Amino acid sequence: MNDNKGTSVVLLNTTPGCMLFESVADKVAQCDSKVEYAIAGNPGIVRSSNPHPKRVEFFANLDKYSLDQLIKMYCPFPSPLKWAYTRVRGLLGRIKRKVVG
């Protein structure tokens, strides 16, 4: 199932996890799948992602700056023009997928 609207995969590894999932199973759309399919779409299941190049620097500054300052330093917002370009490009891509199939 791929509706591009939510969680791509849920792995249930423990009995408590299975019990918790069963408690909400009637409230969510779900389907069983092979783990190979899940890995193909989520390589982070079997290998760690690469650390961000500024990870060490971020943690070194964690005690020196406030959270607001760190966000401004490491998570800068794009310019309004770049933001608009990204949004329009995404919208056009979705329209193209619906038209082309």
Q: Is the predicted pLDDT of residue 2 greater than 70, yes or no? A: no
pLDDT at 7 over 80: no
- pLDDT exceeds cutoff 70 at 92: yes
Structure tokens at 30: 């779900």
What pTM did the predictor assign?
0.45
Sorted by where each begins, the domain ranges of the chain are 1-49, 53-101
Using one digit for the tens of pLDDT, what is the confidence trace for 20-71?
Answer: 999 999 998 888 888 888 888 888 889 998 999 999 999 999 999 999 999 9
Residue 81's Cβ-count burial label (10 Å; 0-12, 13-18, 19+) is: exposed
Q: What is the pLDDT of residue 3?
A: 67
For residue 31, the one-letter residue type is C
**Which residue is listed with tokens 């969510």?**
28
What is the distance, to the nearest Å, from the Cα of residue 12 to the centroid of all Cα atoms in its chain?
19
